[in-house]
Amino acid sequence: MTMKTATPKGAHSQSDLRNSQLFLDDYWIEDSIRVSRVFHQARKYRKPVIQPDRAYEGGCLGYGSAICRNDQIHIWYPVFNPEAKDKVCYAVSDDGLNFRKPDLGFYEWKGSCKNNICIMPEEPGVIDCIAVISDDQEPEWPLKAVYWQGIIGPRDSTGLWARRGLVAARSKDGLKWENTPGPFCHGWGDRTNALPTRDKGKFVVYTRQPANPYLSRVVYRIESEDMVTWSDPEIVLKQNVEDPPRYEPYSLQAFKAGDIYIGFVERMHTVPDRLDSEFVFSRDGLNWQRSRKREAFLPAGQSSDWDADWSCLMSSAPIVKNNRLWFYYGGRNTGGGPSHFAHFPFNDSAIGLAVLRIDGYASLQAVEAEGWLETPTFVWDGGDLAVNADPRRDLNSPLATATGEIRVEVCDAQGAVRPGFSREDCQPIADNTARQAGSFVAVTWQDATVKKLAGEKIRLRFHMRDAHLFAFKSLPS
């Protein structure tokens, strides 16, 4: 369970209630009894959706991006091949499962331009970690990208190539890319991600500095309005006293979801050699919170699985498809040490898919005995109250086993139930709302409507029995 942190007075009334209000921490809990927080894992699709099936693809790495444009899912992914060097390739899909690798004709490989290569190093070198950004502020160039490039040549005092660092690029269609405005953050580390959209008008990048005082991997945050001038780096994630000694935060993938930032810290475990992703969240993009149990967001596979040892989520927001959140990730069945340089097929890598219910990162659960929680006082905006909930004790059980319910009371600022809004007046939520479009259903009372409380200070009291509550929000009138 996350720690309860102080919330500025009046902060709740500044929240946009049209966005999902999640229960990741105690921000929306003023008081409660017999409820517990549960963090949930995504469910992995059984096989990869993109595999290295071309000669220049020694492995399809998940250090890329996936976005939905024009009702298609587009993926940009680096490939690793000792003979063909690293590059960025492109694939597209209509259903999100079956991807095409179109012949783009931009770059030559072994005498032919029939390939899906969309970015190559400017000179002989390598490319790693591309983060594609949708930019609605510049319609002529709707896509931007940040990637790492290393040019083979002289080395500096660290033993690494002197000409290495981050590159900012732009594209009109996601196929042809220009390195404009070009290189920045010279000498910075290869594992880099970016928010998939601007945040408050700025591009935000999570990456590594060339050196830090901890002699360990540390995640820094930088931001820019033009991709030319960047802010001073700020540390946002590093090892702390609750982490095991042979662990380092390898990178951070993040995106904005309404009023909150959702992220996944990529965890490098050196003994044994393994990499996975842990769910984290933040209310400012700088200070990230982690759950007490710190479980991996993607379930660990069997030793024979294609993604048994390394898995990382792409530098993207999940795609809402089939009323679920779709996460694309990279995986491989060898680690990052000596096994990283093993010959094919022992170092095969591919891109897979994992799925989660909408807002399904964490829930508040009441089991065995009835529980309740009460929100702080906030101003209602005049829409219908809706909840995202599942009235099952065990979320892996059949839907027919749903025997629980959730009822909501509306109280005044002092906690007294308002007339017509008691739990007895409330129609119980007794079905899994994930079966409805958007995963939310409106809460109703016999002779009252919360719309009439627009502009008034209220509290919500959720009564729960054998149920999970994921979120609430206000539906537009």
Please report the pLDDT score of residue 273 as a whole number.
82
Please state the domain extents for the chain.
12-37+362-475, 43-357
- The answer, yes or no, to whether residue 84 has pLDDT greater than 70, is no
Identify the bridge partners of residue 78 per DSSP, sorted by sequence position: 88
pLDDT at 336 (0 to 100): 59
Instruction: Identify which of 140, 139, 135 has the alpha carbon closest to the alpha carbon of residue 224.
Output: 135
Whether 343 shows a pLDDT value over 90: the answer reads no
pLDDT in tens, 445-475: 999 999 999 999 999 999 999 999 999 999 9
Residue 230 is predicted with a pLDDT of 97
Q: What is the pLDDT of residue 1?
A: 40
Percent of the chain predicted with pLDDT > 90: 73
Average pLDDT over residues 144-149: 96
pLDDT digits (tens, 9 = 90+) for 351-390: 999 999 999 999 999 998 899 999 999 999 999 999 999 9
Is the pLDDT at 340 greater than 70? The verdict is no
Q: Does domain 43-357 have CATH number 2.115.10.20?
A: yes
Is the backbone of residue 410 left (phi > 0), alpha (psi -120 to 50) or beta?
A: beta
Kindly state the average pLDDT of the residues 382-410: 92
Produce one character per residue of 96-109: b if its CB has 16 or more CB atoms within 10 Å, e if not.
Answer: beebebeebebeeb
Which pLDDT score, from 0 to 100, does residue 2 have? 47
Query: In the predicted model, what is the mean pLDDT of residues 114-140?
Result: 93
Q: Is the pLDDT of residue 11 over 50?
A: yes
pTM of the model: 0.94
Q: Across all residues in the chain, what is the average pLDDT?
A: 91
Q: What does the pLDDT read at residue 160?
A: 74
CATH number of this structure's domain 12-37+362-475:
2.60.120.260
User: Does residue 334 register a pLDDT over 50?
Assistant: yes
Confidence bin at 415 (pLDDT 50/70/90): very high
